[in-house]
Chains A and B, each alone.
Chain A
Amino acid sequence: MYDTPFLERNIVTQEVKISARDCQVHYGDNHAIKDVNVDIEDKTVTAFIGPSGCGKSTFLRCLNRMNDTIDICRVEGRITLDGEDIYDPKVDPVQLRAKVGMVFQKPNPFPKSIYDNVAYGPKIHGLARSKAELDEIVEKALRRGAIWDEVKDRLTAPGTGLSGGQQQRLCIARAVATEPEVLLMDEPCSALDPIATAQVEELIDELREQYSVVIVTHSMQQAARVSQKTAFFHMGSLVEFGETGQIFTNPRDPRTESYITGRIG
């Protein structure tokens, strides 16, 4: 797929999974996200690009309410998942996060065994009724994380003992093990070598069949390779959002153009 020219890609518009309207984020006095409106589609990979500090991670963390853990962070506006406001007081953020999984920039496996890392999510959500079922879930998740062959003989070894790339794939496996509907990935490949990156990108492409995937990346090539939709952020605002092919070949905003051609950022 990597070689397919953008314009020839078969673009199918899916139904909207997450939509944000007039989203504002403040860290104390710092207005980090300004008036962001975006529709993230189901079964689609959406890439967030933009210069460092423009608020990509901040906006991503709004989508599963991870910002709740930051005391000074204030989120305003309306963000909906399948039409339901996720910031509604009746919503339990924990339940939301089970539906909207997250993979972090730095691989952060639990200091437990590889098996326990993946089994933890299904266990606390009660997805497995027996040990055999849990084993099955773990194996499936590790296979989807493209790491099963490397770790199948040492599932009891500590997850922290893996290489950086393996750890990141383990974290992806851990995230998919809970069967989320949306997967948020914050620069998942920044710690990986080209081979591991290629594996993760392939994985993302597979995940698209079932999930809505949002990926933050600093690599234009990566955004171009894996995503169908791209959002360009600049200084807290969403400057441009559209088909990846259109953004990279025919950007409408001059700021987008100068960023992807390497003049700002």
Chain B
Amino acid sequence: MTDAAKTPTARGAKGVSLLAPDAHTRKRNAAEARFRIYGLVAVGIGLFFLVALLSSIVMNGIGAFQQTGYRLQIELREDVLDKTGTRDIENIKKVKTFAYAQLIRAAMLREIEKAGIDTPLAQAKVTGFSSDLDPMMSDGARAHLRDLVLADPGLIGQTIELRLLASSRVDGYLKGRVSRDSIARDKNLDTVHLDLVDALRSVGVVNTAFNPAFILGSDASDARPEQAGMGVAILGSLFMMLVVLVLSLPIGVASSIYLEEFAPKNRFTDLIEVNISNLAAVPSIVFGILGLAVFIQFMHLPQSAPLVGGLVLTLMTLPTIIIATRASLQSVPPSIRDAALGVGASKMQAVFHHVLPLAMPGILTGTIIGLAQALGETAPLLLIGMVGYIASNYPDGVASGFLDPNSAMPAQIFEWAKRADPAFYERAWGGIIILLVVLLSMNFIAILLRRRFERRW
């Protein structure tokens, strides 16, 4: 080797220095760098949309979890509620909500007086009859008070402190949904009402607080958005998911095991296989109309019942579970089956002792994904009457939970989004937050189960 050969430039024909990449390498590196940038950009765009979506959901919906109310000292006057003084429940029941409205007005007027607020609404009227104050209160407030008294007649004669809901417009004003301009066209509420609300807020009588009734309560009629809650619909969804789980998991897993491990491979099983894959792609509304025709019109199961909803969603979930289960059965190495057969296990023992445990994480993930899909499904519920039903009563007991008309979470959200009052619109967004939280927790459970089963190698 000569001295000249030691410098990189003076190398022989194939002597290109490794320190300076050649043209081909540079080109390949540039392509790789470009590809990485494309990837980053794609992920970035995805993240941006995700954040935008989530933040708009939270911004629009978080208000539904808060509700405006008045903290009032209500004097439950005996001369109004129980003129005879006998505390006879039948007599007390005869007193209509109208009487309770008087008590609420009186309590409100006392607060106004105590705070020294000067408002035309408090003047001129006989104490207790200032019906001008009514639009500030929820229609449900008097019913709420009446229920309270009927549950415990001993309260009559006492003065109790109570938080009563404000009307949805006052609620909207405090949350910024209703402004003084938009109120101009409103026949119910005046700017004087808003002045009063402002004054009451400064003395702490009006405030906005967390509203558990939105999560636990039932739906309310068009006139009372402030009372509407998701609770009953959540229960309806829960009952549907129970039906789906109890039916689709055993049926799906059993049929996948049979098809994958035992069925002979012939034209017939091929046909079944193709059809299952096709079934997974059938629009959900088709299952809905099938459910309507078969379960309701032919089998005469009750309309709007979670049982029927669950049956329809089971049809929809089955292909998902079957496909996921078969994929995870296929991914179990065949050597495990050979090993089991080799020590004299029967086919069934091989499958249940060795293959199934290994496929379990995949099966569970598939099942939960199927359930999550079913949970968010709205279209088939439309056809069996679970959309549009006002879920205002909690089912009493398990049987009625399955059979009594109910709504479901997505159906309830759809229902609220449809109603005219913007207060319901806010609740629809709030409902979406609840739905997403439930879905995320289901995914979380899926991950936990996966971990738990995978730890057993």
Contact = CB atoms under 8 A, between A and B. Distances in A.
A156 to B, nearest CB: 12
B341 A66 contact: yes
A124 interface: yes
A206 to B, nearest CB: 20
Contact of A111 (B338, B341, B344, B457): B457
A158 B457 contact: yes
B336 interface: yes
Interface string A124-145: 1100000000000000000000
B342 interface: yes
Contact of A94 (B335, B346, B358): B346
A110 B353 CA distance: 10
B339 A160 contact: no
A103 B335 CA distance: 11
Given A71-B264, A71-B265, A160-B457, A109 B339 contact: yes
B337 A110 contact: no
B457 A124 contact: no
B403 to A, nearest CB: 45
Contacts of B337: 69
A124 B349 contact: yes
Contacts of A158: 457
Contact of B335 (A104, A120, A175): A104
Contacts of B264: 71
Contact of A69 (B265, B333, B336, B341): B341
Interface string A79-113: 00000000000000011011101111010111110
B344 A110 contact: no
Interface in A165-209: 171, 174-175, 177-178
Contacts of B115: none
A230 B315 CA distance: 59
A121 interface: yes
B353 A111 contact: no
B205 to A, nearest CB: 67
Given A94-B346, A160-B457, A175-B343, A120 B353 contact: yes
Nearest to B333: A108
A111 B358 contact: yes
Contact of B338 (A98, A108, A174): A108
Interface string B341-359: 1111111010001100010
Nearest to A117: B339
B340 interface: yes
B338 A120 contact: no
A98 B333 CA distance: 22
B301 to A, nearest CB: 43
Contacts of A104: 335, 338-339, 342
Contact of A108 (B335, B349, B353): B335
Nearest to A98: B344
State which size class the interface on B falls in.
Answer: 20 to 34
A97 B342 CA distance: 6
B457 A102 contact: no
Contact of B344 (A71, A95, A103): A95
A175 to B, nearest CB: 7
Nearest to B354: A110
A120 B343 contact: yes
Nearest to A118: B343
Interface in B310-347: 333, 335-347
A108 B344 CA distance: 15
Given A71-B264, A160-B457, A108 B336 contact: yes
B343 A101 contact: yes
B457 A112 contact: yes
A178 B457 contact: no
A81 to B, nearest CB: 14
A124 B342 contact: no
Interface string B194-214: 000000000000000000000
A121 B346 CA distance: 11
B442 to A, nearest CB: 27
B230 to A, nearest CB: 44
A121 B457 contact: no
Contacts of A106: 335
A125 B335 contact: no
Contacts of A97: 341-344
Contact of B339 (A64, A71, A171): A171
Nearest to B342: A102
Nearest to B334: A69
A121 B343 contact: yes
A106 B338 CA distance: 11
B342 A101 contact: yes
Contacts of B343: 97-98, 101, 120-121, 124, 174-175, 177-178
* Interface core residue of B336, B344, B345, B346 (most chain A CB under 10 Å): B344
A64 B342 CA distance: 8
A125 B340 contact: no
A110 B340 contact: yes
A67 to B, nearest CB: 11
A174 B344 CA distance: 11
Nearest to B266: A71
Given A111-B358, A112-B457, A66 B338 contact: yes
Among A71, A103, A110, A177: residue with most chain B CB under 10 A: A110
A94 B347 CA distance: 8
A101 B338 CA distance: 11
A66 B353 CA distance: 19
A124 B345 CA distance: 7
Interface of A: 64, 66, 69, 71, 94-95, 97-99, 101-104, 106, 108-112, 120-121, 124-125, 158, 160, 171, 174-175, 177-178
17 contacts: A66-B341, A69-B337, A94-B341, A97-B341, A98-B344, A101-B344, A102-B342, A104-B339, A108-B333, A109-B339, A110-B340, A111-B457, A120-B343, A121-B343, A174-B339, A174-B343, A175-B343
Interface of B: 264-265, 333, 335-347, 349, 353-354, 358, 456-457
Given A94-B341, A104-B339, A124-B349, 14 more contacts: A66-B341, A71-B264, A94-B347, A97-B343, A99-B344, A103-B342, A104-B338, A104-B342, A106-B335, A108-B339, A120-B343, A120-B353, A121-B343, A125-B344
